[in-house]
Chain A
Amino acid sequence: MAELDTSGGGGKKGGKVRSKKQSTRVDLTAMVDLAFLLITFFIMTTTLNKPKAMDIAMPDKDENQKQELAVAASRTLTLLLGANDKLMWYIGEPGKTPPTVENYGKNGLRKTLLEKKDEVQKKTGKFMFVIIKASDKSIYKNLVDVLDEMAITNIESYGIVDISPVEIDLLKREKLY
């Protein structure tokens, strides 16, 4: 462990002049420091760089038509993703219930989702079904945000469906399209 001194000791016996043995040890502390610094750097850059993903499952295209009417309108919440990072939601069928304009995020969409989820659960005794309809003016981030809210609020039944002209009109009325 400790560094041994090998340099001294000789030279007592004869009169021979011996050259002093130089220690071959080099102080490696700095080198170890450097090595560990580099290791830390590589660990950080490799493991934190791993791409993370979020899984989504879409309904089968052919079966889509058959399944569409299976969920009762009273427990479906439809989200319409519009322009300018805003969305609209309504419960039931389009046109019959007035839609509400909402923001994304903690106080907007998430609050609504949690409230309505409980409401529907109490009223019908069944879980709420969310239909996500993204308009052409919405951006990819909006979609990911909504899917993320689904994960946060533990809504397991949701689907991504194409938007209908009636709903585009609703968005246009609020200048979100």
Chain B
Amino acid sequence: MPRVKVARKSTALDMTAMCDVAFLLLTFFILSAKPRVEDPVTVDIPGSVKEVPLPEEGVAVITVGQKKTFFSVEGTEIRKQTLQQMGEKYGIQFTPQEADKFSVLPVFGVPIQSLKQFLALDADQRSKYKQPGIPRDSVSDQLFNWIRESRIAAKALRNLELRVSIKGDAKEEYPTIKEVIAILQRQEVNKFSLITTLRGASK
């Protein structure tokens, strides 16, 4: 009796479709990924248990480290508008090229008087340049005005209430933080966020 032979099938699968999907997803993730912003000073973020993810839009971050403060705000248009308003306030005219450069600058910490020179540097020089931080004193009031102008810009352009958050170094002494909080309170920002990392509750 002839045995029924089971046809031997090839185990190789057609991978084309899978490959397509994989690369499609890969492209999506690469394009949607935000490049990591390098902090101008080392900031070791303290941990906490209660966590709320920070929204993607409408966030202004004040980085505090080594007694210096740095400022950054999301959105290229908001940045441009903020720069323009700041220029008017301090009587400094920024060229469109400088505004373009500023709009892609993720974080900065220079007094507005030396912002022009800072923008003239290329990316490599800029990362080497030791940023002195934005002055917090009440005479020039620059940090106060940066926050204020960016809030105005965000409100005007996108009708967005800017969420101010503080990204502080864990080892930073409290007076610096106190100054920043006082600056926020002076413009009636009584609700703000502290950026933290996730930590287990047991510690």
Contact = CB atoms under 8 A, between A and B. Distances in A.
Contacts of B196: 52-54, 144, 148
A53 B15 contact: no
Contacts of A136: 173-175, 178
A44 to B, nearest CB: 10
Interface string A159-177: 0101000000000000000
A137 to B, nearest CB: 7
B9 interface: yes
Interface stretch (A6-14, A31-39, A93-101, A113-121): A31-39
B12 A60 contact: no
Contacts of B141: none
A140 B22 contact: no
Contacts of B41: none
Contact of B33 (A45, A81, A151): A45
Interface size class of B (residues with CB under 8 A): 35 or more
Name the residue in A1, A35, A53, A139 with the highest tally of chain B Cβ atoms < 10 Å from its Cβ: A53
A58 to B, nearest CB: 5
Q: Specify which of B36, B171, B194 lies most central, judged by the most chain A CB atoms within 10 Å of its CB.
A: B194
Contacts of A81: 174
Contacts of A31: 15, 19
Q: Which 8 A-B pairs have the closest CB atoms?
A: A28-B15, A35-B22, A53-B193, A42-B29, A151-B50, A141-B170, A148-B48, A144-B46
A35 B193 contact: no
Given A51-B195, A54-B50, 11 more contacts: A3-B14, A51-B54, A54-B51, A54-B196, A58-B190, A60-B190, A136-B178, A137-B173, A140-B177, A144-B196, A148-B49
Contact of B48 (A49, A106, A138, A147): A147
A136 B173 CA distance: 7
Nearest to B198: A52
Given A139-B172, A140-B171, A54 B48 contact: yes
A139 B174 contact: yes
Interface in A117-149: 134-145, 147-148
Given A27-B12, A152-B201, A147 B194 contact: yes
A65 interface: no
Contacts of B25: 35, 39
Contacts of B29: 39, 42-43, 46
Contact of A3 (B12, B198, B199): B12
A50 interface: yes
Q: Which of A39, A61, A160 has the most CB of B within 10 A?
A: A39
B6 interface: no
Contacts of A147: 48, 194
Interface string A46-72: 100111111111111100000000000
Contacts of A106: 202-203
Contacts of B54: 50-53
A52 B34 contact: no
A140 B170 contact: yes
